[in-house]
Structure formats: C-alpha cells, structure tokens
Amino acid sequence: MQVVSRLQLPKTLEIVDLYVKLHGSAFIDFDTENSMIALLSNDTISFNTYFNSVYESFYTKYTTLNDLSYQLKLIGAFEVNVYRERYGVDERELIYSNKIQSQDLSKYIEFSLPQLKPVSEAGRIYLEITCLSDEGKFIEGLLVTQIPKQRDVLLAIITCTFKKEDYVKKTVNSITQDNLLEKHNFKVFVIDNGKTLTKNSFPDSRVALVSNRNVGGSGGFTKGLIEALQEGVYTHFLFMDDDIELDSEVIYRLFSLYEYAKTDFAIAGSMLDLYRRHCLYEAGALYNKAEDKKGNIKDSNYVVVPLKHEIELRDTSKLNSLLLEDDIDYGGFWFFAFSKTIVDKIGLPLPFFIKIDDMEFGLRIKQLFKNSIVAFPSIAVWHEPFYAKNPGWDIYYSFRNMLITDAIYGFSKYWTTTYHLSGVIIYNLLVFNYNTARIYIKALNDFLEGPNFLRQNDPEVLHGKICGYAKSSKSQTTIAKATTLDQDYKIVKVSKVQKVISLLTLNGHFLPKFMIRDESVFINYPRIEAQRDSICKAFTKKRILMKINDIPVLYQNELDQEAAFHILSAWIKSLVKITMQWSSVNQQWKEAAEGFTSLEFWQTYLEPHQNQLNKEIAR
C-alpha cells in the first residue's frame, strides 16, 4: 500500500477554507500535537476544497493511479459520502456512501473509490463526513493505492537565497520535519548567494549548505543543479524560491506524481497570493501573449499572461474550472520540478541573473517535450505577488532578458521593439520617472552588445551598477508610508485636448520654466486600468506623488527638464544603433544560446577567479 496524499488540515484559521469546510459546530483543535476536528451530532466536514480535492482528470491523464482508496482515523459514528463534480455540469454525482463507526485509533477505516474515469468523463472528487453520534473526532485521512510504483524517485530540492535567512530556514524546516516525507529520498541544497548562513542553520543531514557568490537567482539555481548532478543519484529536481510559504504536503504529492507518472513532464507549481491568501494568482503562464477584453489570447511581444489568474479558491463553484487544462509555456521558479532526462536534453538555465530565466527554461522544455509542463491543481505555494513589488532595478533584467529570449526563439521584431520601447520611454518621461527610462535604454544597449556582454561582465559588479541606475536621479524619492484612499476618492480623467497638449509638451518638459507651478499632484495608478487617474493631471505641475498598485510607499518624482533632454538624446542614439545592428545581434544571441547552457560555461561563470587560477597553474 502506498500513500498518495493526505487529507491535510490547515496550520492557521486564516486558510481553513482552502483545506476543509466546517458546518454546524465543527471546529479544528489546533492545540493538540496533530490538529484534529471535533464534531457534534449532525455536524458535517467537507473536503470540497482546493487542497483536498482529488483532481481525477489529471491523475488519469498523467499517472497510472486509477485505483484509489481512502483511509480514515475517526472516533464516533459517521456517514461518509464521496462526490464527483465535472466542469460545466451543475449536479454533483454521489459515487460512494456508507455509514461507519470506530473507537479504535490503532486502525484505519478503509474504503475504495470506483475506478477513476478516463479524461473525457473525469472530474473532481471530494469527501464529506457527517457525524451521527453525539460527539465525534476526525483525526487523520489518507488517499492510498495498491498499485505498484512505476519508479523510485530521488529528489534534489534546490533553493537559492540572498539574505532571507528567516524565510529559507522556515521553508527548509517544514520539509525536513515532515514525518511522512522521511520515507522518501530527498536532499535540500540551499545555495547561499549572500553568504549569511552557517552550517548550524541547518542541522539536518539531508540539507547541504553551499556558499555562492551573488550571481542572482539563475546563478544560484544552476549552482545547486550542478552540485546535485555531480552527486549522480537524483532522478528529479525541484527549483524553489527562498521567500515562499509552503505546506510540505505539496512536496509529498510531487513524489507521488513522479512515482506513478506515465510520461515525463515538468510540474509548474501554482502561485497563491501571499497578501490575499485564498486567491490563485497564477497556474502556469503564456509567453509573448496578451488577453483582450473578451478574454481571447493573441500574440503580443513583451507581455505574459498568467493562467487561472485571480481565482477565488474559497468559492467551490470555481474549483471545477481548474480541470480545464491549459497549454502552458512556462512555470515560475517559485516551485518548478523536472526530471534529469529533461536536463540531459536541454541543458542548464541561461545566465540571466534574475527575471525571465524561468520563462526561457520553460520554453526550451516545451520545444522538446510533448505535454511537457503541467500545473497540477493543489501543487501550490504562497508567494509575494508581482503587483506589490517595484524595486526599479529589476526592469533592466526583465527587458534585457526578454530581448535575448525573443532573439533565441525567433520572436524578435524590429518595429514592435522600437514602438514598444519608445512608448515606455515617453510614458516614464510623462510621469517624471527618469531612473526607469534610463534603465530601459541601458537594457537595450547591453542587449545590442551581443553575447560577449554576458561573457565579459561580472554579474556581481554589473548588478551594483544597475542598482545605481535605479537611484541615479536626485529628483526622485520614495515616501515610506502606505496610502489608503478615501472611499469618496474620485478618479480624474482629462479631456482629449489636454491629453494632446500634455503629450506634445511631454507633460510640461517643453514648456518654459515660468509656466511650471511649484505644486504637487497625486496620481493613483492601480493594476486595473479603469481605476487609474490620468497621468496628464501632472501637466504644468512640478511634482508627482504616485501610488502604484498596492506597494506600501509613495513615489515622488520632480520634473527635471535637463534629465529628460539627456534621456531623449540617448534614446535617439539607441534608435540609430538598433536600426543598424538589429538583425546581426539577434542572430548572434541565437547562435550563442546553446553554449550558455553548458556545464563548461557555467563553471567559469560561477567561479571565474578559480578558473583563471587553474589555467595559470596549468601553464
């Protein structure tokens, strides 16, 4: 008998509805060593939830697990019902019902589910338990199978961290302290780019701490992958961000999926919004695609589409939509698993420092493997959402690396790029954001240097320069306080005439200084376009106070005509350069890509001083 997964209970009240629905007086007792649910007569607990549903169609399609049973530890008398729901079908189907009684915690009560249906008829299965006695307790639940495993899985879990000690310790401890995971073979490789951790940070022998210079996330993950490959025993690998929150059950389920897999595939863990913990932010994504107002997907450079975006997971009516499988282009490295077979075929990640490395890696997998990336529902972690981040310097890596990826895969278009970047430069000048405008131009110019730019520039030194770019303008500051808008706040839009005048004068940059009033204007710029103020509010004003998304700071940008003219001059020079070099530099990146994914390149890239010393010794 093999345990496939557990009926997991939440660790906090905040996320109860993602694990179990409690009806009547039923409550979770968190005070016991292992949480349990206490019930009174006629109370019901339902596992019609995100984490504890059985996503039948995915098991049927990707694994040999077509014969499953529940094992329960209960005290009291109960009615047990198991239901199946399908997408687009209103009524749920009762597939098992029985009355059971138990007072013996030394034994499980076991019952088999009907054989799982083929994909065309499959759905989502869940368990509901009603207490028939005066009192009852739910202690534990397991989903098990008698089917023998297809293979043994040895998993290398690789997490890269830079001065986020508390996060990574919590994540690693949750894995190593899971009793059920002790039956599986795994090792955690913690790649410490900040060199702030010690061996005492991880006393468990299944954790390897590897000190590394700051070569970003892609460098850290690749360092860990190389370390694991050199041990020569692992069948699968898992990239996992350091700043996530996870339930160790997702690691256990990962083992089951690979142990019973019919074919080889990567698993893209979904991202749950850390600030709206019941919200599914992304379950895989599409690269160079955009979604129109009608929900149609179309090609669009420099845009990505998060799939299953903004689904409220407490709403059980939405859970069946997770059965609709998407053709995923990539999955984020916050939780991304893949086999050694994949690594052997596609090589190592590209040296992107951060940003787009997971996108490019996914595109490579998809290019060579059919049905290759699966966002298996319930394999998910909590992560800080992108709308709450705006360090500034990360724009450089996003744009530069997207240009490189587009060149490698033949997505690059001269007119699209120049039009897009011109719009970005103009927009940032309109809101007096000179730092970001400079960073975009820097990213383009470094891309135009060709592959030798990555070979010849030390990533640690370069990153310091990029961070400097993000703070170079003295006219830009942040005010470190959250701003909550009054309920009566009214969005300000402007007339078409003012829009034209604002654009022609670049929101006042081309006006004589005496026409600029020493005033500030507040601009609210949330994620939803319809709720944004017009940036033309800033016309003839000296300062902008800007609230972007839910970021807990205000950005204060002051008009600087000299800075704007320098940026426009630099942009014109870049336009000339891109026109002359576009075709040739794209071809250079395409030809160089395979070399960047080789072990030989990465050994030099990760330890340039050591490799130079080895060469001198050899002489």
pLDDT at 550: 79
Q: How confident is the model at residue 609 (pLDDT cuts 50, 70, 90)?
A: low
The CA radius of gyration of the chain, in Å to the nearest whole number, is 27
Instruction: Reply yes or no on domain 154-388 having CATH 3.90.550.60.
Output: yes
Rounded CA gap, 423 and 469, in Å?
20
Query: How buried is residue 34: exposed, middle or buried, by Cβ count under 10 Å (0-12/13-18/19+)?
Result: exposed
H or E stretch covering 172:
helix 165-176
Q: What is the DSSP letter of 63?
A: B
Reported as a single tens digit per residue, the pLDDT across 432-458 is: 999 999 999 999 999 999 999 999 999
Rounded CA gap, 132 and 204, in Å?
44
- φ/ψ of residue 16, rounded to 5: -55, -45
pLDDT at 619: 47
Reported as a single tens digit per residue, the pLDDT across 17-73 is: 999 999 999 999 987 777 899 999 999 999 999 999 999 999 999 999 999 999 999
Length of the chain measured in residues? 619
Rounded CA gap, 558 and 540, in Å?
12
**CATH T-level fold of 2-145:** Jelly Rolls (2.60.120)
Nearest partner of 172 among 137, 133, 135, 202, judged by Cα: 202
Are 530 and 446 spatial neighbours (Cβ–Cβ below 8 Å)?
Answer: no
Query: How far is residue 195 from each of residues 159, 182, 192, 207, 458, measured CA to CA in Å?
Result: 14, 29, 5, 16, 18
Are 52 and 126 spatial neighbours (Cβ–Cβ below 8 Å)?
Answer: yes
pTM over 0.85: yes
Reported as a single tens digit per residue, the pLDDT across 288-340 is: 999 887 778 999 999 999 999 999 999 999 999 999 999 999 999 999 999 99
Q: Which of 79-88, 90-99, 314-323, 528-537 is predicted with the least confidence, judged by mean pLDDT?
A: 528-537
Query: Is the model's pLDDT at 428 over the cut of 70?
Result: yes
Residue ranges per domain, the chain? 2-145, 154-388, 394-563
Reported as a single tens digit per residue, the pLDDT across 336-363 is: 999 999 999 999 999 999 999 999 999 9
pLDDT at 618: 43
Question: 2-145 and 154-388 share one CATH topology?
Answer: no
